[in-house]
């Protein structure tokens, strides 16, 4: 537990220095050593909160509330409804930006900025609006404020890189002062809000341009048009020559022998096989990993499709990097999404899709016991008692005395009491011996034990 506290102390330092990703990683290490480290759980939720990940923040605070009865987590959860309204306002602002209704977007975003909710995304969006209006000095101010919260935020750094095209030699990252989210912020930021929006703002086209609300601008120069026409002419000329060549060949073709046809057919088949042979898709995986916000479903699908295709050292390293992402933040993403689906939609089949993805990369992860339990729970709710029992048993084997042990033992009693009395009695004995006097040590358990 002392190691858990050490990691938490380091996380606080990183958080105060605007190193949110590092702080998040240290929180996860702290929690993996001690799930009852309430301060680490709250800090982790707060980081998600500032990054705009409402669903993730809610799931972390819910865990802290459910298993540690933490008063701060309760307060966060109690006020999260206020954040949901700001979330919708932010989403509307994103649509307005994409529709080039910049002034309307600014009005909505300035309302969002009055709260600490989703600060990074709101400030970035305001900076983007100012860029589109050509007000680069104002844009710079918003991006600097965003960096004060998270000095390594990829989207902010990308905006700044683009902004340097308009403000050469004026933007000095080293002078950005970090500290807004220091000690005072840890205590003060409670009722701000968070954003789980997965859509991306359309920001930079292939060629950078400043777009006003009344003028969409143009990216194609006359020289570009000339080049495009030349390319088209080349293709047309090449196509005509090819067609003529083919026509000539058809005239000269002579009937071939059966052996010749057979040989040519075999060569064609071999060539076709080579063409359809799957190769490791390093470009798609690299692109997925480099995205400012990772699409974990896409990354999961890419890893599944390519995990047996990696050949060289580079391919294998890239695959391992992808797997590490899925084992850490990916596992957490899938689990958090499953909790939202269970809590808000009660769609247990859909929740299982996310939970099974999380399970595949959960070995050694602190969420594994939660994932196993909720897979069993979801099957239970779907009346698939065979699979429910299977995962409940897996939970008991992997996590004896875990957080859900009593709930799992009781459900096993109920599942087997009328179909396998000896097995039900094993679970009932466990409840009576380890959890005597609890609400689960009730008449159902006593009835099983009396048989």
pLDDT over 80 (residue 411): yes
**pLDDT classification of 261: cutoffs 50, 70, 90:** low
pLDDT score of 269: 60
Over residues 44-65, the mean pLDDT reads 86
Over residues 442-451, the mean pLDDT reads 91
Closest CA to 19 of 51, 41, 45: 51
Cα 192 versus chain centre, distance: 21
Determine if the pTM surpasses 0.95: no
Report the C-alpha gap between 348 and 380 in whole angstroms. Answer: 9
Over residues 223-234, the mean pLDDT reads 46
**pLDDT classification of 431: cutoffs 50, 70, 90:** very high
Closest CA to 160 of 148, 149, 144, 145: 144
**pLDDT classification of 181: cutoffs 50, 70, 90:** very low
What is the SS3 string spanning 325-385?
Answer: HHHHHHHHHHHHHHHHHHHHHCCHHHHHHHHHHHHHCCCCCCCHHHHHHHHHHHHHHCCCH
pLDDT score of 277: 56
- 382-405 pLDDT per residue, tens: 999 999 999 999 999 999 888 889
pLDDT score of 355: 97
pLDDT score of 402: 84
More confident residue, 258 or 247: 258
Domains along the sequence of the chain with CATH: 1-204 (1.25.40)
- 274-310 pLDDT per residue, tens: 444 578 898 999 999 888 888 999 999 999 999 899 8
């Amino acid at each position: 537990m002392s190691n858990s506290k050490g990691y938490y102390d380091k996380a606080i330092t990183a958080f105060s220095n605007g190193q949110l990703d590092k702080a998040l990683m240290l929180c996860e290490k702290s929690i993996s050593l001690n799930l009852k480290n309430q301060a680490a759980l709250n800090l982790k939720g707060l980081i998600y909160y500032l990054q705009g990940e409402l669903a993730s923040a809610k799931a972390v605070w819910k865990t802290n509330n459910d298993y540690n009865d933490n008063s701060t987590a309760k307060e966060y959860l109690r006020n999260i409804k206020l954040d949901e309204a700001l979330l919708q306002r932010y989403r509307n602002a994103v649509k307005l930006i994409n529709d080039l209704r910049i002034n309307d977007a600014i009005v909505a975003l300035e309302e969002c900025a009055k709260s600490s909710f989703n600060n990074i995304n709101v400030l970035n969006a305001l900076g983007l609006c100012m860029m589109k209006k050509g007000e680069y000095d104002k844009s710079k101010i918003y991006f600097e404020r965003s960096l004060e919260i998270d000095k390594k935020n990829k989207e902010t750094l990308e905006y700044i890189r683009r902004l340097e095209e308009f403000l050469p030699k004026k933007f000095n990252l080293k002078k950005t002062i970090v500290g807004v989210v220091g000690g005072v912020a840890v205590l003060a930021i409670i009722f701000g809000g968070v954003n789980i929006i997965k859509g991306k703002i359309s920001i930079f086209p292939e060629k950078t341009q400043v777009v006003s609300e009344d003028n969409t601008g143009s990216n194609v120069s006359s020289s570009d048009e000339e080049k495009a026409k030349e390319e088209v002419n080349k293709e047309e000329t090449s196509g005509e020559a090819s067609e003529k060549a083919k026509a000539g060949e058809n005239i000269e073709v002579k009937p071939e022998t059966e052996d010749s046809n057979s040989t040519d057919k075999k060569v064609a088949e071999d060539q076709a096989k080579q063409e359809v042979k799957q190769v490791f898709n390093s470009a798609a995986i690299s692109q997925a990993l480099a995205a400012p916000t990772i699409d974990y479903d896409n990354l999961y699908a890419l890893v599944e499709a390519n995990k047996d295709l990696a050949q060289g050292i580079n391919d294998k390293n890239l695959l391992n990097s992808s797997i590490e992402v899925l084992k850490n933040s990916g596992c957490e993403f899938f689990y958090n999404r499953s909790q939202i689906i269970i809590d808000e939609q009660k769609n247990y089949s859909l929740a299982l899709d996310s939970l099974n993805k999380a399970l595949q990369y959960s070995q050694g992860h602190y969420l594994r016991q939660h994932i196993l339990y909720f897979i069993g729970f979801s099957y239970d709710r779907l009346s698939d008692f065979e699979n429910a029992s299977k995962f409940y048993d897996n939970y008991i084997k992997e996590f004896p005395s875990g957080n859900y042990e009593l709930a799992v033992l009781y459900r096993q009693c109920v599942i087997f009491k009328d179909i396998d009395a000896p097995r039900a009695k094993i679970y009932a004995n466990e409840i009576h011996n380890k959890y005597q006097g609890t609400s689960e040590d009730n008449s159902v358990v006593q009835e099983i034990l009396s048989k």
